[in-house]
Amino acid sequence: MSNHPRVYLVGAGPGDPELLTVKAQRLLGEVDVVVYDRLVSDSILDMIPSGTARIFVGKASSHHHLPQDEINELLITLAKNGHSVVRLKGGDPFIFGRGSEEAAKLAENGVQFEVVPGITAASGISSALGIPMTHRGLATGVRFVTGHCRDDIDLDLDWQGLADPNTTLVCYMGLANLSQISEKLVDHGLSPDIPAAAIYRGTAPDQRQCVTTLEKLPSLVRELGFEAPVLIIIGQVVELAGLLNWQGLVYEDNVESTEEEQAFLA
């Protein structure tokens, strides 16, 4: 039981425990209860002291261990019963983590809360692969979108706006709809030959990655047998993956950096 009941909405980062923030690690050792998601790695869960209660509330596509409304109520109940709680989420809690929905419910019910940001998958995983989100002459901006909709309906995205060759597009939870994403972007003017990457369990020990073109990516991902979670990165900056591959990763069906792209680094 805590003298200061509060809910901490904590980002666990992309998976590598060394990318966890100092504050997040400290809180894991101080609170009474940790309520965690499916994407939180085992190595981060191992940091939780043995006497701390753990509650799993993970979600997968079309299968929720606990519906979001019940997660909200759980957090409220735990705090009102005098517990300090870490609500632990993969990546950053406010980027496709539904952390803002939980924060709103906590606020509505008079529960004190604090947000502890984490390294989101887009920046953590792209950096690990040597793919810059922006790069002079190749990408002047970056956009994050979700590739998953409720009830498996068609994605309703701004396809015209997303089909911008000067913008890096990062798609979270896009594995199931990857073929639709590729087709829609090409239909709205993005070159089918623009480089694209798919990364399974980025920054984790079992990470796998492939780099190819937007048109070829869906079939290659199927051929390689990638399963969720997969991050998709589309844009000219992906061509720099081979050149900036500081970890010596093996890229399957790699698109080589051209002399023109290498010149941008001079």
**Widest CA span of the chain, in angstroms?**
63
Candidates 102, 139, 146, 89; CA nearest to 122 is 146
The structure tokens listed for 61 are 């596509």
Given 37, 89, 105, 184, the catalytic residue: 37
Q: Is 168 left (phi over 0), alpha (psi -120 to 50) or beta?
A: beta
23, 32, 59, 216: the active-site residue: 59
**What's phi and psi for 87, nearest 5 deg?**
-95, 100
CA-based nearest residue to 204, from 25, 17, 11, 28: 17
Q: Which of 188, 178, 259, 260 is nearest to 223 (CA)?
A: 178
216 is catalytic: no
Q: Note if 89 is an active site residue.
A: no
- d(CA 17, CA 14) in angstroms, rounded, equals 9
Residues known to be catalytic = 37, 59
